[in-house]
Amino acid sequence: MDLESSFTVEAPIDEVWATLMDVERVAGAVPGAELTEKVSDTVYQGVVKVKVGPLSMQYRGQVELVSRDDAAHVAVYQGKGQEKAGQGTAEGTATLTLTSDGTTTTGTVAGSMVLSGKAAAMGKGIIQKVAQQIMGIFAKNLQSMLSGGDAAEGESADGSVKGLSLVAGAIGSMFHREKKDADAAASSADERTADG
């Protein structure tokens, strides 16, 4: 599935870029994510915990910085993970692009992801909605980090991502289009019910 998500912070683009390229530091801003090992300067292993209603998932895997262009503020990541207590997997690539408007920096994460297991059964619409919410929490945490604070919003006591409101797929999350389709279908169904 093709995915896209974005975030905005109030900070100069070069400062945001430098923070995002410090993977060990910025990992703490991603809800439910924990870095467990630095394999090399571009490869990291970690854990992503996700809790959706009664459903809990924990993925172990790695993310690799495949390429980075400091001048253009573009980086490409590749990630894959295995669900710890199940047969589910998550694998994908993501391109991070930063743009600037004065002191406001916008980051866009776009790519593709292949999911299997419980996460795949949730469907793209739910995953998209949750990815946007995760990105919103990430933006708040990143803003806090850029201001010299800590980053730990959006997690439950066990460190997993909270609630049905948050559905994380794999490191980086990005999703779009199907929510509009689902809303249109729901609206049509409501109209048919009202007419009937």
> Once rounded to an integer, what is the mean pLDDT over residues 158-178?
37
Q: Which two tokens stand for residue 103?
A: 């002191």
User: What is the structure's pLDDT at 94?
Assistant: 93
Task: Report the pLDDT value the prediction gives residue 66, as an integer from 0 to 100.
Answer: 95
- Bridge partners, 76 (sequence order): 67, 95
Domain definitions of the chain by residue range: 2-195
Q: Mean pLDDT, to the nearest integer, of 79-85?
A: 89
Between the ranges 4-13, 51-60, 122-131, 141-150, where is the mean pLDDT highest? 4-13
* Nearby residues of 71 by Cβ (< 8 Å), 6 or more positions away: none
Residue labelled with tokens 């970690």:
46
Q: Give the span between the Cα atoms of 10 and 2, in whole angstroms.
A: 28
Which is nearest to 140 in space by CA: 29, 49, 50, 48?
29
Q: Nearest CA to 61 among 8, 15, 114? A: 114
Listed in sequence order, the residues at least 6 apart from 191 whose beta carbon sits closer than 8 Å to its beta carbon are none
Fold classification of 2-195 (topology level) = Alpha-D-Glucose-1,6-Bisphosphate; Chain A, domain 4 (3.30.530)
> pLDDT category, 76, cuts 50, 70, 90?
very high
Average pLDDT estimate for 19-46 = 90
The model's confidence at residue 52, banded by pLDDT at 50, 70 and 90, is low
The pLDDT tens digits for 90-143 are: 899 999 999 999 899 999 999 888 888 877 777 777 777 777 778 888 899 999
Angle at the Cα of 137 (from 10 to 80), degrees rounded to 5?
A: 115
Looking at residue 106, its amino acid is T
Q: Which band of pLDDT confidence, cut at 50, 70 and 90, is reported for residue 4?
A: confident
